[in-house]
Amino acid sequence: MQPEVWLYLIAANVAAFAAFGYDKKRAITGQWRVAERDLLLLALLGGGAGAWLGRRVFRHKTRKTGFSAAIRLIFAIQALLLAGLLLRS
């Protein structure tokens, strides 16, 4: 894969991870939150691993079963796609 693709994936995952941490902090302090739609969008745009890790590290949105299932599904699909691309090259 091209270096630009790797840089994009790293940036997308860092952004998703950071968004989960930011949202958790806002939740604790009772401030305006990041919309679940936006967190899922970050995951869909290539940040599935960062979103999954952010949920685990920050223990954030773990009781929302539908949201958790969506993050796991996005992460699994992206992992399979990445594995397929790496095996082709």
pLDDT at 63: 84
Q: What is the pLDDT of residues 20-72, one digit of tens each?
A: 999 999 999 999 999 999 999 999 999 999 999 999 999 888 888 899 999 99
Residue matched to tokens 């590290």: 57
Distance between CA 72 and CA 48 in Å, rounded? 8
Domain ranges within the chain, ordered by starting residue: 3-88
pLDDT at 89 > cutoff 80: no
Angstrom CA distances, 66 to 26, 30, 40, 77, 81, stand at 21, 23, 11, 16, 23
